[in-house]
Amino acid sequence: MTSRVDAPSGGGTDRLAPSLMGVFAHPDDESLLAGGVLARSSAAGARTAVVTATWAPDSPRAAELTDALRALGAGRPRMLGHADARNPSSAPGRARFVDVPLDEAVGQVVHHLREFRPDVVVTHDALGQLTGHPDHRRTHQVALLAVEASGLGSLHPEAGPPWQPRALYAATHPDSGVGELGPLLTRVGKTLLTVPDAYAATAVDVTPWTAAKWRAILAHQSEAARERSLPGILARLPAESRLKIIRTEYFTRLMPGPVPADPRRLPATDCPPSADA
């Protein structure tokens, strides 16, 4: 597994430091899954931002998110304000994010994409990360559609002028990259969903930015206090063991996909047109 030059992280100038936006389900997902690349991009001078699908903007979790984003240099919270699928009290009176009509949720993310105009977007993988949380899976769907829709002026015109990000990545966990974390999650009864190593083609060493990443994770105090949460598990580990877990972040590129060498060899469509189409 290799770290690639087009990974979701920045270099030293505007040209080499693409603006980066994360689209994640919950406060703390941004820090756990992409805190290193967010901090790295910010340190390189890139504009960075995070959209969070769940929890009310006036909730304690929102205040923690503010502190976490400050540690990562990722600007102000951009919260959609929907309820967590497993915690309706996270946004009283609001629908659960998984119940929001898909087009409505896509339009909300398109608004932030067109306002911030990122070069690169990072979100959850299709499995919903290690634990398969339904909010993670829904956020993956919404982000994938929103990145496409953002570049099409005919879709969601109320969200502003079109903007097409250059790339979309999914944060993921390869089979070989789980290491010490796997047994820890299994011990507390957590689901463990990983992908084949070949799928997680981009491994980013974020060791120089782990201090900022760890500050951001700890900013989510309500999660760090819970023994069965990932921040809580990490907080109870020796520093050396924790570093082994958080110093590498894994991604797969969703858009643009690989271009076939010969367009005539494109795979046949799964749904051929009907005879009367």
What does the pLDDT read at residue 111? Answer: 99
Whether the CB-CB separation of 32 and 65 falls below 8 Å is answered with no
Q: Which of 37, 41, 49 has its CA nearest to residue 13? A: 41
What does the pLDDT read at residue 9? Answer: 56
What does the pLDDT read at residue 43? Answer: 97
- Taking only the tens place, the pLDDT of each residue in 202-215 is 999 999 999 999 99
Domain ranges of the chain: 20-257
Domain 20-257's class? Answer: alpha beta
What does the pLDDT read at residue 263? Answer: 35
Give me 227's structure tokens: 């023994």
What does the pLDDT read at residue 15? Answer: 52
What does the pLDDT read at residue 184? Answer: 87
What does the pLDDT read at residue 275? Answer: 34
pTM exceeds 0.75, yes or no:
yes
CA separation for the pair 75, 87 (Å, rounded): 26
- Taking only the tens place, the pLDDT of each residue in 104-128 is 999 999 999 999 999 999 999 999 9
**Sites in the chain below the pLDDT cut of 50:** 1-6, 10-14, 259-277
